[in-house]
Structure 1
Amino acid sequence: MSSTSLCVGVVAPLTGRLAPLGSPLSYVLCALGPRLAHVRNGGRHYDVTIAVRDSRSDPEAARQAVRDLVDVDGAHIVLTMAGTRVLPAVTDACEEAEVPCVSTTFPWQAYVHTRGADPGHRFRWTYHFAWGLDDIAAVFADLWEGIDGRRAVGCLWNDDLQGGLLRHDRHGFTPAASARGHTLVDLGAYREPAGDFHAQVGRMREHGADLVTSAATATDLALFHRQAREAGLRPRLITCSRWLTYPHTHTTPAPDVHGELADARVATLVYWSPDHPHRSSLDGTTCAELARAYQHATGSPWLQPLGLAHALLETAHHALAVAADPTDRASVAQAIAGTTLDTVAGTLDWTRGPTPNIALLPLVGGQWHPGPRGPRLAIVTNAAHPGVPLTGDLTPSR
C-alpha cells in the first residue's frame, strides 16, 4: 500500500457580511476534520489535509482564495457555499485554475446565468447541488394556495441580480408561478438597502394583492411590512427566499426587525431540517443528530446550510475515494460527474441533471412561528418531498 497526501480546499466567509451564515460550514469542518484525515481509495491510503481560505464575503478576495488554495496549498478539490456574488467568483476561478469545485446554496439557474452561460452548458471543473427557481415558485404556490387559492401576488423584488433572475421570462420564478394560475404583480424594483417602500405599498393596494413574495433582506422586508401596516394593509402571507431561509434573529441584531417579522409570520423554502429523513454517508448520522450536535457545540439554533455543508464534505470524501487517481484533478472532476451519493442532505445525483453539472435537491415549505426561544421553522407543506413530516400548520397573518 502506498501513502501520499491529498488536500481539500475550502473557501468560506469567515469575515464580512456573510460571516454569520458561514458558521455551519466552520462547524462541520471542525467536527468532520478527524474523520476526513484519511481516505482509502482501492488498496491505497491517503492522508488528507483541509485548507481553509477566507472569502471575506468579497468576490475578488474569493478569487484570490482559490488561487492560494491551488498554488500554495495544492488543493485537489475546492468546496464553497453562500454568497450571490461570491459563489460565482469562486466557481469561475476554479474553472480557470482547472481544479474541481463543488458548491451549494444557490438556485441552479442563477448558478448558470451569473457565469454567462445558458441551461445545457457543460462546465468541465465545477459542480453544484441545490434547487431551482422553478422549485421555489412551486413551493411558494403551494403556500399561497393554502391561504387563498389563486389570487394576485405582489412581487417585492430588488433591482439587482436576484430581482432580474426572478423576473426572467424563461428561466426565472415568474413562468413557473404563472403556470400554476397565479397573477404576479411586480410592485416595482428597489435598491438594497431600501429607504422607503411607499410606492410598492401603493401598488399593492392598487392591485388588491394581499399575498406578497420577495427575496428581501430581513431589514428591508420588515420596513415594507411596517409601511404596509401603517397604510392600513396587512399581507395575509409573505413568502420570502434568500435571507429569510435563516432566522431573522440571526441575520440582523435589530430588535424592531425581529418584532416586525415575528408578527408577519413569514413563510419560506426549506431545503434541510432536523426532520428530514436522511443520514450521513460517512457515519450514518441523522439530520436530527447533526442539528443537536451543532446546537450543543455552538449554543446557537441549527441553520439550514448545516446539512448542505456536511454534504459538501461527504461529496469531497466520496470523490477522492472513488477517483481513478485522486492525485489528478481531472480524475477527481470525472468522479464527481458520475456521483450518486446518499448524504445527510439527501441523494445527490450528478448523472441526471436537470442540466449538466447540477444535482437537484427537493424543497418543502416552512413558516417562521414565534416560540419561547425565538423563531421556529415549522414544516407546513411537503408536496415535493412527502418523506419530510409536517411539523406545524400554515397560519395567515391576522
Structure 2
Amino acid sequence: MSESPGVREQVLTVGVVVARTGRLTSLGDPLDFVMTLLTPKLAARGRHGLPIRLAGRDSRSTADGAREAVKELVEDEDASIIVTLAGTQVLPAVADACESVGVPCLSSTFPWQVYYHGRDADAVHGFDWTYHFCWGLDDIAETFADLWEQVGGAEGRTVGCLWNAGPQGAWSRHPEHGFAPAARARGHQLLDPGPYQEPAVGLDRHIAHFREAGADIVTSAATGRDLALFRAQAAEAGWQPRLITCSRWLAYPPSTPVGGSRSAQAGVATLVYWTPSHPYRSSLDGTTATQLAETYEQTTGRQWLQPLGLAHALFEVAAHALTTADDPTDRRSVAAALSTSRLETIAGPLDWTTGPVPNIATVSLAGGQWQPGTRHDYELAVVHPGRTPGLRPTGDLVTT
C-alpha cells in the first residue's frame, strides 16, 4: 500500500502507529491487516469531498520508535488523527507524544485505568487530545470472579496471585484503581506472596505459598513464558491448581510446542472481548464479526485474533470523527468530535459521553478458556457471557 504524502489539501489522513517489527508484531498484525482492508472503503468517506487516506509508521515495538512514528506522521504525513494498538510502554508513548504536539489520538488494548491514571489524569481533568477505549481492571476482576465461582465450593475462595514487579502487577495490586479491590468486593481472599522479576527464573516460592494456603485457583498477568515456567514447576512439585485465570497475552491462540506436549496456555481461562460470535457489525459497511474473522483467515491463512475487532473499531471511530467534525481539517475540531462520539462498532457500542472518566469509552468482557478445537489446535470457548448482551456461551468451563 502506498504511503506517499499526496496532495495534503485534498485529503484527510489517519496516521497509524503499528508494530511491524519487534516484540509487539503479534499485536501489530491485526492492525496492519485492517489498515489494508479498509483503505479503499475509507477513501470515499471524507467530509466536504475530502477523501480519507491511511498512512502507517512502524513503532518498532519501542517507546522511542513510537515517538518517532508520531513525529513522522505529523510532520511528513500531516495526520489529522493518529490511531494505535500497543502495549504498556509503547501506547502511553504514542498518546503522550500526540498530547505534546496537539494531534488527536485514539487507542485501545489495555485497561483504561492504566492508560488514564497511569498518565497522571484524575477523575475530573482528563486530556486535551488523547482518547481510549477498553475494559477496566475492575471488569477483569468481575469476569474472573464469575469464573472462580463456577469452580464450586465456598463462595469466597482463596485465590493465589501470580503478579510480577512490573506495571501489570503494580496495577493489579493498586488499592483504589486496581484488580484487587473489585475481586475482594466479591468476597474472595487474594493471596499475594509478593512480586517476581520478569523473566522469572523460579516461582517455587509462589507455588509453596499457594499450596500451603489451599489456594486451588491462581490468577495472573504473566507472560506466556513465565506461565509455562509456573505450570512446569508446579507439576514437578506434584501440585496443580484447579483453575488458572490470566489476562496477559491470552488474546492469542496457544502454540503447540515441538513434540506435541501441552501448551502452557491450554486450559487457561481468560478475557473475551471479541470473537466471531459477538453480535456486532461495522458502522462503515455492516460487516459482521463473523465475516471479519473469516476474511482474516482466508486472506492470511492464520487463525483469527481478538484484537481484530478493536483494530477495526479504531478506524470506524476515526472515520466517524472526521466525518462529524465541524471542520475536519482542524485538529481541534476533530478532537472535539472524538469527545462526543457515540457509535455502534464491530467491537460493540462505544460512548465517550458516558465514560467512567473523561476521554474513555468502555468495552464489555466475557469469560473464556482455551480448549482443544475442531478447526484449530486450540479455540477460545466463551464459558461465561459476562456483561456482553447477546453473547452466548460456546463451551463449558473445564477444571482439573
Q: Distance in 2 between matches of 1:208 and 1:20?
A: 36
Q: Look up the SS of the partner of 1:174 in the other structure.
A: helix
Q: Distance in 2 between matches of 1:380 and 1:225?
A: 22
Q: Residue by residue, what CA displacement relative to the aligned partner does 1:233-264 show, whole Å, maximum 9, x if unpaired?
A: 11100000021122222xxx8547972425x5
Query: 1:83 matched to which residue of 2?
Result: 87
Question: Shift of residue 207 of structure 1?
Answer: 1.1
Q: Distance in 2 between matches of 1:383 and 1:71?
A: 44
Query: 2:233 matched to which residue of 1?
Result: 227
8 A Cα contact 2:12 2:46, kept in partner: no
Q: Distance in 1 between matches of 2:209 and 2:269?
A: 22
Within-5 A mapping of 1:296-335 = 296-335=298-337
Q: Distance in 1 between matches of 2:306 and 2:381?
A: 12
8 A Cα contact 1:271 1:362, kept in partner: yes
Question: Is residue 171 of structure 1 aligned with residue 177 of structure 2?
Answer: yes
Q: Look up the SS of the partner of 2:322 in the other structure.
A: helix
Query: 2:382 matched to which residue of 1?
Result: 379
Query: 2:71 matched to which residue of 1?
Result: 67
Q: Distance in 1 between matches of 2:389 and 2:172?
A: 26
Letter aligned with residue 25 of structure 1: L
Question: Is residue 366 of structure 1 aligned with residue 368 of structure 2?
Answer: yes
Q: Residue by residue, what CA displacement relative to the aligned partner does 1:372-398 show, whole Å, maximum 9, x if unpaired?
A: 52111000001311411110001102x
Unaligned runs of 5+ in 1: none
**C-alpha root-mean-square deviation of aligned residues, in Å?**
1.5
Query: 2:284 matched to which residue of 1?
Result: 282
Within-5 A mapping of 1:118-267 = 118-148=122-152, 149-249=155-255, 254-255=257-258, 259-261=262-264, 265-267=267-269
CA distance 1:179–1:259, change in 2 (3 Å)? same
Letter aligned with residue 396 of structure 2: D
Q: Distance in 1 between matches of 2:118 and 2:63?
A: 13
Q: Residue by residue, what CA displacement relative to the aligned partner does 1:68-116 show, whole Å, maximum 9, x if unpaired?
A: 1111110000000121110000000000010000000110000013212
Query: 1:58 matched to which residue of 2?
Result: 62
Question: Is residue 338 of structure 1 aligned with residue 340 of structure 2?
Answer: yes
Q: Which shows bigger deviation, 220-229 or 365-374?
A: 365-374
Question: Shift of residue 54 of structure 1?
Answer: 0.4
Q: Distance in 1 between matches of 2:263 and 2:386?
A: 29
Unaligned runs of 5+ in 2: 1-8
Q: Distance in 2 between matches of 1:91 and 1:258?
A: 41
Q: Distance in 2 between matches of 1:258 and 1:282?
A: 43
Q: Look up the SS of the partner of 1:293 in the other structure.
A: helix
Q: Residue by residue, what CA displacement relative to the aligned partner does 1:206-257 show, whole Å, maximum 9, x if unpaired?
A: 21111000011111101101111111111100000021122222xxx85479
Pick aligned residue for 1:357 from 354, 359, 365: 359
* TM-score normalised to structure 2 length: 0.95
Question: Is residue 97 of structure 1 aligned with residue 97 of structure 2?
Answer: no
Deviant stretches of 4+, over 2 Å: 38-41, 116-121, 253-258
Q: Residue by residue, what CA displacement relative to the aligned partner does 1:151-209 show, whole Å, maximum 9, x if unpaired?
A: 10000010011100000001000000000000000032111111111111111112111
Q: Which shows bigger deviation, 381-390 or 77-86?
A: 381-390
Q: Residue by residue, what CA displacement relative to the aligned partner does 1:286-314 show, whole Å, maximum 9, x if unpaired?
A: 00010000000011111100011000000
Alignment size in residue pairs: 389
Q: Look up the SS of the partner of 1:261 in the other structure.
A: coil
Q: Distance in 1 between matches of 2:242 and 2:62?
A: 37
Q: Distance in 2 between matches of 1:12 and 1:359?
A: 21
8 A Cα contact 1:379 1:389, kept in partner: yes
Q: Look up the SS of the partner of 2:45 in the other structure.
A: strand
8 A Cα contact 1:323 1:334, kept in partner: yes
Q: Look up the SS of the partner of 2:151 in the other structure.
A: helix
* TM-score normalised to structure 1 length: 0.95
Letter aligned with residue 393 of structure 1: D
Pick aligned residue for 2:26 from 5, 20, 30: 20
